[in-house]
């Protein structure tokens, strides 16, 4: 069961934090961050708690959320200092994330039961006792007419869960750990969730699935706005999944006006970079598979590619070295507008980690999620209905725009190969969610996918299911497909930017 796509109090608090941090940055006067001390009282007003047992705890959590939203390090409950301590570091537009990117606010964690099979009050003490009969370890007995599970004997196989005719036995799993495809979450000494940063690939699925809002990633809202307020033009590179993320009034034809209203010089769709990535990956596949490598994995999802390289290091070279759409678009913008800065606006927490790599820092200066940008729109009090419409963005293909959904990347590459190498057969396998991506790689390791193009997406549904998205996945998919139909041309090989590809790659 997932809470994705349901707007909850957790989403509301996150948005209010992002909004307040954006207001703080837009109104910032040099050297004065004293307003930070007042923000928790605006977000959590009054004397009575709304969400937790104490209003003081609620404000303490908001303070740490604020710090993370400004790119600062998380503090433990034992540290005593004003919320603004060290915040002067945020006024530097060149500030990058200090690891870890994904953080657990420990005193917000519920210390959920992790991987425990329990009998609920729905147990009817039935005569058949199918739960006891099917248990392979004899872990179930009956006391006072009800089933009881011996946790020392239980192996969590789930057979009793399936056998109970009343659905009275439940297998409790910590939501964040259950959502983590890297098995990177365990319990600390107090039973609270803890992240193994060596395993974590920053996909953000734990963040999106924690019902207590205890997990948050760092943001660059403050730094981006400071760059916008400087004399340097800042361009917004908007990911294909953006369609519909800010409600029905902000359509794609108004997107450029909307981002200009935030202070950006202009907005450029990353789907043009997706077209260039498609062309590069198609050529790489033709040149390298199967003569050099048995298969090729797509490169655009950083969480998937890092997972594949970490978990299957012997096949690291089989993951495409093609530059991602974000990087290609960033480089293209900077070639066209020397001296500018680029902010990638997307659905993904892992893109923040990708952009912080030393080899990419010069291409993409900031990464913001849709959820964070929604806070910026709120801070400016913008009315989307008043924005000017533009008939087109920048001429991306329909295939480039469908990079946002599972299967879109592979389809785009296949279409190029079919056009340019009609005699070449290309087989495709795709997976969404890191668990499924790992299974796909295991099959590839066993030789089942020799000659294949493998598309991996860390998030459910593809980029539209990223941790920084706002809209339900199914609704977002439909919006992306509608946007595909609105493209002036269907395929990447029709891109007017193809001539720029060699110089962008060599940059």
As a whole number of angstroms, the distance between CA 119 and CA 133 comes to 15
How confident is the model over 161-190, as pLDDT tens digits? Answer: 999 999 999 999 999 999 999 999 999 999
Neighbouring C-beta atoms of residue 341, cutoff 10 Å: 23
pLDDT value of position 153: 97
How confident is the model over 326-372, as pLDDT tens digits? Answer: 999 999 999 999 999 999 999 999 999 999 888 888 899 999 999 99
Instruction: Kindly report the average pLDDT of the chain as a whole number.
Output: 94
How confident is the model over 484-497, as pLDDT tens digits? Answer: 998 989 999 999 99
Task: Quote the pTM value.
Answer: 0.94
Is 320 a residue whose pLDDT tops 60? Answer: yes
How confident is the model over 227-271, as pLDDT tens digits? Answer: 999 999 999 999 999 999 999 999 888 999 999 999 999 999 999
As a whole number of angstroms, the distance between CA 259 and CA 364 comes to 17
Domain check: are 366 and 459 in the same one?
yes
Q: Which two tokens stand for residue 194?
A: 């803890």
Please spell the DSSP secondary structure of 70-95, one letter per residue.
TTPPP--TT----TTTTGGGGG-TT-
Domain check: are 15 and 68 in the same one?
yes
Domain check: are 278 and 400 in the same one?
yes
pLDDT value of position 75: 87
pLDDT value of position 392: 66
In a domain, 396, yes or no: yes
Is 1 a residue whose pLDDT tops 50? Answer: no
Q: pLDDT confidence of 77, banded at 50, 70, 90? A: confident
Domain check: are 281 and 408 in the same one?
yes
Beta-bridge partners for 452: 427
Domain check: are 288 and 399 in the same one?
yes
How confident is the model over 365-415, as pLDDT tens digits? Answer: 999 999 999 999 999 999 998 888 876 676 899 999 999 999 999 999 999
CATH of residue 152's domain is 3.30.70.20
Q: Which of 449, 448, 456, 443 is closest to 410 using CA atoms? A: 456
How confident is the model over 409-431, as pLDDT tens digits? Answer: 999 999 999 999 999 989 999 99
pLDDT value of position 79: 82
pLDDT value of position 10: 93
Specify the number of domains making up the chain: 3
In the block, residue with structure tokens 């800065």: 341
Range of 124's domain? 116-172
Q: Which two tokens stand for residue 235?
A: 């361009």
Q: What is the mean pLDDT of residues 438-448?
A: 98
Domain check: are 317 and 447 in the same one?
yes
In a domain, 507, yes or no: no
Domain check: are 92 and 229 in the same one?
no
Q: pLDDT confidence of 131, banded at 50, 70, 90? A: very high
Domain check: are 361 and 402 in the same one?
yes
Domain check: are 28 and 131 in the same one?
no
Q: Which of 138, 172, 96, 33 is closest to 357 using CA atoms? A: 96
Q: Widest CA span of the chain, in angstroms?
A: 78
Q: What is the mean pLDDT of residues 270-288?
A: 97
Residue 113, classified by CB atoms within 10 Å of its CB into exposed (0-12), middle (13-18) or buried (19+), is: middle
Domain check: are 377 and 425 in the same one?
yes
Percent of the chain with pLDDT over 90: 85
Q: pLDDT confidence of 30, banded at 50, 70, 90? A: confident
Please report which helix (H) or strand (E) contains residue 367, including its range.
strand 366-369
Find how far residue 460's CA is from the centre of its chain.
Answer: 10
Neighbouring C-beta atoms of residue 448, cutoff 10 Å: 12
């Amino acid at each position: 069961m997932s809470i994705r796509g349901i707007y909850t109090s957790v989403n509301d608090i996150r948005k209010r934090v992002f909004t307040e941090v954006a207001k703080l940055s837009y109104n910032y006067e040099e050297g004065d961050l004293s307003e930070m001390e007042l923000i928790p009282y605006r977000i959590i007003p009054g004397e009575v708690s709304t969400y937790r047992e104490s209003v003081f705890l609620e404000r303490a959590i908001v303070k740490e959320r604020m710090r993370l939203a400004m790119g600062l390090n998380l503090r433990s409950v034992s540290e005593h200092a004003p919320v603004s301590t060290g915040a002067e570091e945020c006024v530097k537009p060149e500030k990058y994330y200090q690891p870890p990117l994904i953080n657990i606010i420990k005193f917000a964690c519920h210390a959920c039961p992790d991987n425990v099979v329990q009998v609920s009050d729905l147990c009817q003490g039935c005569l058949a006792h199918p739960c006891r009969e099917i248990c392979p370890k004899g872990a179930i007995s009956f006391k006072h007419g009800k089933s009881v599970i011996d946790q020392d004997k239980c192996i969590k196989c789930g057979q009793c869960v399936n056998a109970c005719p009343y659905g009275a036995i439940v297998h409790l799993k910590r939501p964040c750990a259950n959502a983590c495809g890297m098995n990177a979450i365990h319990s600390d000494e107090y039973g609270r969730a803890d992240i193994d940063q060596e395993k974590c690939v920053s996909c953000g699925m734990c963040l999106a699935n924690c019902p207590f809002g205890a997990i948050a990633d760092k943001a660059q809202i403050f730094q981006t706005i400071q760059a916008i307020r400087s004399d340097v033009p800042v361009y917004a590179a908007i990911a294909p999944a953006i369609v519909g993320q800010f409600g029905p009034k902000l359509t794609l034809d108004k997107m450029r006006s909307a981002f200009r209203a935030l202070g950006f010089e202009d907005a450029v769709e990353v789907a043009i970079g997706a077209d260039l990535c498609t062309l590069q990956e198609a050529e790489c596949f033709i040149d390298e598979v199967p003569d050099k490598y048995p298969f090729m994995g797509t490169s655009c999802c950083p969480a998937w590619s890092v997972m594949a390289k970490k978990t299957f290091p012997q096949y690291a070279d089989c993951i495409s070295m093609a530059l991602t759409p974000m990087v290609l678009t960033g480089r293209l913008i900077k070639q066209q507008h020397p001296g500018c800065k680029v902010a990638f606006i997307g659905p993904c927490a892992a893109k923040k980690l990708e952009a912080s790599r030393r080899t990419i820092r010069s291409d993409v200066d900031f990464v913001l999620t849709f959820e964070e940008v929604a806070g910026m729109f709120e801070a400016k009090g913008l009315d989307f209905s008043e924005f000017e419409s533009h008939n087109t963005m920048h001429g991306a293909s329909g295939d480039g725009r469908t990079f946002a959904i599972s299967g879109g990347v592979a389809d785009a590459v296949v279409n190029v190969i079919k056009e340019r190498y009609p005699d070449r057969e290309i087989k495709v396998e795709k997976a969404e969610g890191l668990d499924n991506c790992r299974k796909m790689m295991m099959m590839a390791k066993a030789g089942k996918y020799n000659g294949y193009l493998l598309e991996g997406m860390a998030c459910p549904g593809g980029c539209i299911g990223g941790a920084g998205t706002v809209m339900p996945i199914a609704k977002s998919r439909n919006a992306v497909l509608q946007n595909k139909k609105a493209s002036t041309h269907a395929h990447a090989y029709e891109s007017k930017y193809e001539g720029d590809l060699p110089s962008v790659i060599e940059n």
